[in-house]
Amino acid sequence: MITFLIILLAIILIAVVLFVSWFLSMKANGKCPLCAIKKLTIPRRITIDTSDANDYDNGVAKTPPMGWSSWNTFRNHIDQDLIMETANALVDSGLAEAGYQYVNLDDCWQSSMRDEDGKLQGDLKTFSRGIPALIKDINALGLKVGLYSSNGSLTCEDMPASLGNEVIDAKTIASWGCEFFKYDFCHNSVISGDCPAIEKIELNNLNETQYNSELTLNPEDAVLSGRAKIINLKELPSGKAIGYLNHGAGAAEFTVTTLPHGKYALTIVHQKTFRRRDSYAQVIVNGVMHEVFFPHGKGFSDSGRTQIVVELKDGENTIKISNPVVTVADSEYIQYSRMGRALKNASKQWAQFTQTEEKPIVYSICEWGTGMPWIWGRKAGNMWRTTHDIMPIWTSIVALYNFTLKHYQSAGPGAWNDPDMLEVGNGKLTEDENKSHFSLWCMLAAPLMLGNDIRKFVDGNNNPVEGNAALKIVTNKQLIAIDQDPLGKPAKLIKKVTGVDIIARPLLNGDVAVCLFNKSSSAKNIHLDLLDLVNDQYLLMRKANEYELHELWSDKRTTATAISTSLAKHSVQVYRIKTL
Ligand code: GLA
């Protein structure tokens, strides 16, 4: 017992000594230790204030995107023939006409080798015709093509990915005519919240050939906010620097009025310390954000120089330096937004260069809900996965639905919660379960990405297979119309009654869609008085003496003021309700 206590005491003592020495070294190097610790209490939440940021809004995905993705059925076994056969089958089966227009190549379309210019390229064997030719042929069928990469050094299947290559990869896929881009989260590196102490900044006009320092701004020249302050650092030539710029602690803002407009090299002279990762700052020049990574090594000298190119105008310019990263979610927001900007610029620039109409790229964020993207996703992209990967089993469908339902207020035209691609017709889901899965996704205003082998929906004469249950479900026009309703308001939970969820969403024409979902494993009788919906501020359903109830799976219409029905286990009924 005594030995145990001594060991425990020794461990606590070591931990305290380590913590105190870390704390003191942070302070000595001009870092705010308390700000760095904050991430431990709110690891998943974004701390960056996004309230002033505009929505992503690239003019597309005004209703949830619909199409097909290779992943759920084919995983890493995809090739150009399969993709072309699928595209043809989308047309022949009637799916394209029903609205499924994106043919999305998920992971494993890429070669492990970038080309001689550093660009991504299709697998040299399985996509030997090249991705551009494939896209052209699919476009000729009236369909659009999506591609996939990861916000990391490699994709989830360990193929080359786009973190650090955002601009070149966005330009490459835009030049191929890609119109949908899924950006995964495997092999991600989190941006450090650390920021070095800054001794001074220098500005040099890039048109001058003479070597001279046109303007040097010292710590005293900056207006410091938050906890940022001037600290003494003996090892630096001037002996002082601006510290406490790390982990959102504070910011330093310089004002420049004396330089003529033009492009300038901005050199940040900073303290060097050994770090595990590159440290980071955002330099905002007249509202334009530049990202700066400071190498994590120390080399021989204590002072380092890191440069970017900035644009100054005549008159007053502001240069603001800070590192806003506290949590992983902050890092994600910055990285996903970086790719979003690259995609927007790339499609615009390609259209200008080729004098053709712009093909904006639907931007699908796939970080599995880890950094609460329903909070910031609409500022960064068009849709965001809310959860980890779907599986073709009932518990997975219900879990993804349960979780996504809560975030109904985050979505709207151009910005959607994505509970993952459809598994209707896959695995061992029963017909009721398939109908429920599809209905729930439509109620959630989810993107509808089929995950089937579409070729099975077409017979030998290139006609839709008669009586194919999955095909029938995913082409239910009335349900698709709920999903695609232009008001874009997802369903919210109205009430739970003994294993049955009642969820509802308002529709553009004033109708309300109501779904009764029996989650339980036994049949249920259910009664819903429509007055319950009238009092809901989200649904804004008008009070009336009678309503038309249209049940969308049976296609039966009745007139009533209440729904009284029974539901088999795992089944749904979906009503479109019209005030008479
Ligand atoms: C992750 C994603 C999936 C799929 C695979 C591909 O798991 O969440 O949807 O894209 O990667 O490797």
Convert the pLDDT of each residue in 385-420 to its tens digit: 999 999 999 999 999 999 999 999 999 999 999 999
Tell me which DSSP letter residue 415 carries.
B
pLDDT in tens, 137-149: 999 999 999 999 9
433 CB within 6 A, ligand 1: no
Residue 285 one-letter amino acid: V
Substitution site in 150, 184, 421 for ligand 1 pocket (most atoms within 8 Å of beta carbon): 184
Distance CA 184, CA 151 (A): 6
- For residue 156, report the distance from its CA to the centre of ligand 1, in Å: 6
- For residue 392, report the distance from its CA to the centre of ligand 1, in Å: 15
Substitution site in 72, 104, 147, 156 for ligand 1 pocket (most atoms within 8 Å of beta carbon): 156
**Adjacent-strand bridge partners of 247:** none
What's the mean pLDDT in 512-517? 98
CA dist 42 → 37, 144, 392 (Å) = 10, 40, 33
Band of pLDDT at residue 364, cut at 50, 70 and 90: very high
pTM of the entire predicted model: 0.96
Q: For ligand 1, atom 8, name the residue with the nearest CA.
A: 389
> What pLDDT is attached to residue 482?
98
**Rounded-to-5 percentages of helix, strand, coil across the chain:** 30, 30, 45
389 CB within 6 A, ligand 1: yes
pLDDT in tens, 446-502: 999 999 999 999 999 999 999 999 999 999 999 999 999 999 999 999 999 989 999
**Adjacent-strand bridge partners of 201:** 217, 268
Substitution site in 68, 70, 71 for ligand 1 pocket (most atoms within 8 Å of beta carbon): 71
457 CB within 6 A, ligand 1: no
- For residue 299, report the distance from its CA to the centre of ligand 1, in Å: 39
Distance CA 565, CA 106 (A): 41
Q: For ligand 1, atom 3, name the residue with the nearest CA.
A: 389
> What pLDDT is attached to residue 491?
98
157 CB within 6 A, ligand 1: yes
